């Protein structure tokens, strides 16, 4: 009984709006985060019990339920689902490419690119032409007619930031089918978007143009891309038979998952932390973007544990459908434009759960300098590199309402080894590296929630 | 024939002392390094074809031959072996600890600490007492007599730099046997030096004091340390039987392996780059310190490829016997003290082949500021954090002759997961992370070799 009364007294006397210095808060967030490594446990659960979760799949629906439950467990003041229509593209069971060259026949390791049309049951068959740029495709002219175009421009390995190497190669994947069909090709094979030389194909989004024929598109593993290229250099003619069972269905209803810690003084001033809940249907989306999801939930859990309410609202948004549509980000922004809330900043984590170096910030110079000054606080977790330019696909939709865009910048060396492939699994994530990202996001969310960005 | 003459003209006209700006050199080093990733290929070869290489073992002798060959292949102007007597400690086949508690019997995962004496064939058997500090050991007083002391102070997980966590725990391993024997204990078990919770024991050096009885010492995996601790909290009494076959033999003759690019203007001013060629006899020493070895050889290869000779000499030293004696470092320094050479700076890599953040520098403020100014060049590989304090065990022996001590500082999150255990294998090393370390060392060695550190 005495114990009970003592507890009541304690909780009554606890100062819910107590002052906590930024540096004390940062230390508490760091210590609790590193002691408990909870983001990793969440990610283990997500990858093991939900698995991959492409928009429109059962996996995504399970992820919605999982995300809501985790935000509640993390201690969010309120958690809700925001309706959004999302695409449904299904890979199906068949993705097979066979290279034929003289009497040789060789099965290439391929997978359909996300959004690709399928082929007939017998597939398409044609000679292969290797190219490295859209200029080369254009130059082929009528020689491309009826052919399968093989895009084989590799990552530039000399780029230290692998994101830049990706940026320099990814148009082959996103627009390769359009450019190839424009000159009459009937299909495309694309070298996987990675520095790694291995036998895993990497999927990812591709686009069509409604005024140009939609031709099937598949990624080839880098080992097989090198092999196919060698073959083409040695032999006069190499044909490929490509069979894909991919198919697009009508959009389906689903949700963004949202949870927040309500601010005490300016509850309508919002700091978003987020990532995307969907993943590709390869591996279990551990880094992309399971990491961003669990880090965002961990921000709620860690800041809640400070037991000091923030002045502004911190809201974790688990966005639907980043990978093939961005419908979640668009729906959220569309709703918010009609609201009376003021989204002052959004922090996205969608570059993997690796050691954080800092943040990239897109805003005016006054607010940039204000955020840059927080670098000294972020130094305790080594995330003090504040750079101009950055954000994330999901939060980019908030740009039109003036929200400061902030992207967590983790180390990029290993990301594309796993990205969009069967290699993106929990064993590639390090508990402490992942947690340090959560802590960095928590510190930045905390200080902006306390100080705002206007003075 | 015309081709032949053309080649001669080309090589004659090649300006061997041509000017190359620091930033051009840095870019060339970066591009060649990242294109070829040769450090990783060397490390793959070392770990696959030499394997672990403890001082005094056949493995170490193979490593000497390997190191000499690789330095020659890298293009060193001269390569030589420097004689040094090194210890020979052999683990033997038996390392077994069985916990006995009532009717329960449980085999703990253990390994002898490096340098430990062995036990008799039947082993030692005694009750176990858990402690977390030397103060606790001292306080045990006569209660420790005849017991096995179990050191179970874990890493402080809240330390972002895991090296600091190691520093806060490792005296249990290095001096635990001395302190336990001082109060009459007959053996020690030491929690493995790692943040990871797994079933691998981590070995490492331990010391004896000749005036205090030498008692056997073994590392316990963290899983089994936790289990043993739980058992001790639940049960009145837990005994352990410990059997070790470890044995120390007489010192044996071996070598440091050295190769250099001779400077053109000040050949007797030396910049050392180095790591240690020996490893523990667990795993294959891929990170510790295979990485430092291949990075140092890669410095020679990359700078040689610039085809511009440096003004000062760059010397790669593959030190013998860092792990259990530092005999290599001492022999090198002792020789050098009698020489007319001036060792202006030494750069060691012995913290794993992870992404480099920068360098730690131990010197006076004038030279420190000079090195710090090179941070802007190192930024192209993200290794621009130049901090005060740093170096490495091997090069510490050069401190007495005034050599500036510089240590490569890679990311520390994963290092102790592998360190001194069967987990330290090539699959834990990322080719690009490893190479970026080589490039950072090359850039720094290059600029110091060109500019010196005196003006």
C-alpha span between B379 and B385 (Å, rounded): 9
**Would B9 be classed as within a structural domain?**
no
Q: Which of A179, A322, A323, A433 is catalytic?
A: A322
Sort out which chain B residues have CB atoms less than 8 A from A430's CB and list them. 413-414
A17 touches chain B (CB under 8 A): no
Helix extents (H) in B235-326: 292-305
Q: Which pLDDT tens digit goes with each residue over A377-434?
A: 999 999 999 999 999 999 999 999 999 999 999 999 999 999 999 999 999 999 999 9
Query: Which residues of chain B neighbour A35 with C-beta distances below 8 Å?
Result: 157-158
Q: Number of structural domains, chain A? A: 2
Same domain flag for A191 and A228: yes
- If you measure CA to CA, which chain B residue comes closest to A356? B411
Residue entry with tokens 């306390």: A450
Distances (CA, A) of B87 to A218, B60, B328: 58, 12, 11
Mean pLDDT of chain A: 95
What is the CATH classification number for the domain harbouring A305? 3.40.630.10
pLDDT tens for residues A267-291?
A: 999 999 999 999 999 999 999 999 9
Same domain, A292 and A440: yes
Taking one residue from A and the other from B, the number of pairs with CB-CB distance under 8 angstroms is 53
A135 min Cα distance to partner chain B (Å)? 25
Residue B10 within a domain: no
Closest residue, chain B, to A28 (C-alpha): B158
CB contact under 8 A, B381 and A436: no
Region A230-235: mean pLDDT is 93
Q: How many CB atoms lie within 10 A of CB A307?
A: 12
Give the one of A35, A162, A430 whose C-beta lies nearest to B413's C-beta: A430
Residues B160, B412, A385, A289: is their CA dihedral positive or negative? negative
Quick one: A266 and A403 in the same domain? yes
Kindly determine whether residue B432 and residue A158, on different chains, have CB atoms separated by under 8 Å: no
Same domain assignment for residues B225 and B261: no
| Residue B287: closest CA among B196, B416, B379 | B416
Chain A CB within 8 Å of residue B427 CB:
no
Q: What is the DSSP string of B142-211?
A: GGGTTPEEEE-PPP-TT-SSHHHHHHTTTHHHHHHHHHHHHTT--EEEEE-S-S--SS-----B----TT
| Cα B395 from Cα B453, distance rounded (Å) | 17
| CATH number, domain with residue A228 | 3.50.30.30
Which of these, B339, B318, B340, B338, lies nearest to B329 by C-alpha position? Answer: B318
Same domain, A357 and A379: yes
3-state secondary structure (DSSP) of residue B445: helix
Residue A337 pLDDT class (50, 70, 90 cuts): low
Q: What is the dihedral of CA A386, A389, A392, A394, to 10 degrees?
A: 130
pLDDT for A19: 81
Q: Do A260 and A283 have their domain in common? A: yes
- B344 and B287 in a common domain: yes
Residues of chain A with pLDDT > 90: what percent? 93
Rounded to whole angstroms, the Cα distance separating B74 from B66 reads 12
Q: Is A379 at the interface with chain B, CB within 8 A?
A: no
Confirm or reject contact between A195 and chain B (CB < 8 A).
yes
Whether residue B139 lies inside any domain: the answer is yes
- Of B90, B89, B81, the C-alpha closest to B63 is B81
ipTM score: 0.93
A447: closest CA of chain B, how far (Å): 21
Given an 8 Å threshold on Cβ–Cβ distance, is B411 in contact with A355? Answer: yes
A4: in domain: no
Contacts of A159 in chain B (CB under 8 A): 34
Q: Tell which of A245, A272, A292 closes a domain.
A: A245
Q: Is the pLDDT of residue B49 over 60?
A: yes
**What pLDDT score does B8 carry?**
41
Q: Determine, yes or no, domain membership for A2.
A: no
Tell which phi-psi region holds residue A326, choosing left (phi > 0), alpha (psi between -120 and 50) or beta.
left
Please tell me whether residues A161 and A196 are part of one structural domain. Answer: yes
Q: How confident is the model at residue B18 (pLDDT cuts 50, 70, 90)?
A: low
The answer to whether residue B9 scores a pLDDT higher than 70 is no
The full DSSP string for B42-63 is HHHHIIIII----TTSHHHHHH
Q: With 0-12 CB in 10 A as exposed, 13-18 as middle and 19+ as buried, what is A13? A: exposed
Q: Count helices and strands (H / E) in chain A.
A: 14, 16
Residues A63 and A106 in one domain: no
Nearest to B160 among A157, A380, A411 (CB): A380
Task: Provide CB contacts within 8 A for B55, sequence distance 6+.
Answer: B86, B87, B88, B89, B254, B278, B320, B321, B323, B324, B325, B327
Whether residue B255 is found in the same domain as residue B227? no
Q: Which residues of B are less than 8 Å from A160 in CB distance? A: 30, 34, 380-382, 436
> For residue B449, which of B278, B294, B272 has the smallest C-alpha distance?
B272
Residue B4 belongs to a domain: no
Q: Verify whether the Cβ–Cβ distance A34 to B355 is below 8 Å.
A: no
The answer to the question of residue B2 being in a domain is no
Q: What is the pLDDT of residues A183-195, one digit of tens each?
A: 999 999 999 999 9
Min Cα distance A171 → chain B (Å) is 22
Is A310 inside any structural domain?
yes
pLDDT tens digit string along A143-159? 999 999 999 999 999 99
In chain A, which residues have their Cβ closer than 8 Å to the Cβ of B31?
A: 158
pLDDT on residue B11: 42
Provide mean pLDDT across the span A324-337.
92
B411 touching A (Cβ < 8 Å): yes
- Asked if B39 has any chain A CB less than 8 Å from its own CB, the reply is no
Tokens for B97, please give them.
Answer: 């600890």
Query: What distance in Å separates the CA atoms of residue A153 and residue A167, rounded to the nearest whole number?
Result: 12
Q: How far B414 CA lies from chain A's nearest CA (Å)?
A: 8
Does A430 contact B at CB distance below 8 Å?
A: yes
- Measured CA to CA in angstroms, residue A275 lies from A119, A398, A440 at distances of 34, 14, 15
Q: Before B289, cis peptide (omega within 30)? A: yes
Kindly tell me if the per-residue pLDDT of A14 is higher than 60: no
The residue among A245, A267, A302 that closes a domain is A245
**CB atoms inside a 10 Å sphere around CB A388:** 11
Per-residue pLDDT band for A339 (boundaries 50, 70, 90) equals: confident
Residue of A nearest to B384 (CA): A385
Chain B within 8 Å of A35 (Cβ-Cβ)? yes
Q: Is A322 a catalytic residue?
A: yes
- DSSP assignments along A274-315, one per residue: EEES---SSTT-IIIIIIHHHHHHHHHHHHHHTT---SEEEE
Residue tagged active-site, from B260, B322, B323, B348: B322
Q: Let me know whether A333 and A310 are in one domain.
A: yes
What is the reported pTM? 0.94
Residue B169 has a pLDDT of 98
Q: What is the band of A11 on the pLDDT scale with cuts at 50, 70, 90?
A: very low
Structural domain ending residue among the three candidates A224, A245, A266: A245
Q: Does B352 lie in the same domain as B299? A: yes
Residue A339 structural domain: 15-89+250-451
Nearest C-alpha neighbor of A185 from the set A226, A155, A217, A209: A217
CB contact under 8 Å between B158 and A30, yes or no, is yes
Partners of B34 on chain A (C-beta within 8 Å) are 157-160
User: CB of B312 within 8 A of CB of B236?
Assistant: no
Q: Using an 8 Å Cβ cutoff, are B440 and B29 in contact?
A: no
Q: Which residue, among B195, B152, B159, B158, has the nearest Cα to B173 in the 3D structure? A: B152
């Amino acid at each position: 009984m005495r114990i009970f009364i003592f507890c009541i007294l304690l909780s009554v006397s606890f100062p819910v709006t107590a002052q906590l210095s930024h540096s004390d808060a940062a230390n508490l967030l760091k210590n609790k985060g590193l002691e408990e490594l909870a983001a990793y446990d969440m990610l283990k659960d997500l990858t093991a019990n939900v698995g991959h979760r492409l928009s429109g799949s059962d996996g995504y629906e399970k992820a919605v339920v999982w995300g809501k439950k985790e935000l509640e467990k993390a201690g969010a003041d309120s958690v809700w689902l925001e309706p959004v229509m999302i695409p449904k593209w299904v890979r199906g069971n068949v993705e097979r490419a066979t290279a034929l060259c003289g009497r040789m026949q060789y099965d290439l390791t391929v997978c359909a690119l996300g959004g690709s049309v399928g082929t007939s049951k017998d597939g398409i068959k044609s000679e292969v032409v290797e190219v490295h740029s859209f200029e080369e495709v254009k130059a082929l002219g009528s020689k491309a007619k009826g052919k399968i175009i093989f895009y084989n421009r590799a990552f530039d390995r000399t780029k230290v930031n692998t994101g830049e190497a990706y940026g320099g190669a990814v148009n082959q994947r996103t627009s390769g089918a359009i450019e190839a069909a424009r000159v009459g090709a009937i299909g495309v094979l694309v070298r996987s978007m990675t520095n790694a030389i291995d036998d895993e194909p990497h999927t990812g989004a591709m686009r069509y143009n409604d005024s140009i024929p939609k031709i099937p598109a598949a990624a080839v593993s880098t080992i097989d891309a090198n092999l196919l290229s060698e073959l083409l250099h040695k032999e006069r003619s190499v044909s490929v038979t490509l069979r894909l069972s991919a198919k697009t269905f009508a959009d389906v209803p689903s949700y963004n998952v949202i949870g927040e810690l309500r601010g005490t003084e300016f509850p309508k001033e919002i700091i978003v932390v987020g990532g995307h809940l969907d993943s590709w249907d390869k591996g279990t989306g551990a880094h992309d973007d399971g990491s961003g999801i669990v880090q965002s939930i961990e921000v709620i859990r860690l800041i809640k544990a400070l037991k000091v309410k923030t002045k502004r609202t911190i809201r974790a948004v688990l966005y639907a459908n980043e990978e093939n549509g961005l419908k979640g980000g668009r729906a959220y922004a569309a709703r918010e434009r009609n609201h009376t809330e003021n989204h002052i900043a959004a922090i996205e984590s969608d570059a993997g759960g690796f050691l954080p170096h800092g943040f990239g910030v897109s805003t005016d110079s006054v607010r940039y300098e204000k955020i840059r000054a927080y670098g000294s606080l972020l130094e305790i977790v080594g995330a003090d590199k504040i750079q101009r330019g950055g954000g994330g696909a999901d939060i980019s939709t908030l740009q039109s309402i003036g929200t400061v865009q902030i992207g967590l910048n983790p180390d990029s060396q290993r990301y594309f080894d796993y990205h969009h492939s069967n290699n993106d699994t929990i064993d590639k994530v390090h508990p402490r590296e992942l947690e340090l990202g959560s802590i960095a996001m928590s510190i930045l969310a905390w200080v902006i929630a306390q100080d705002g960005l206007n003075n």
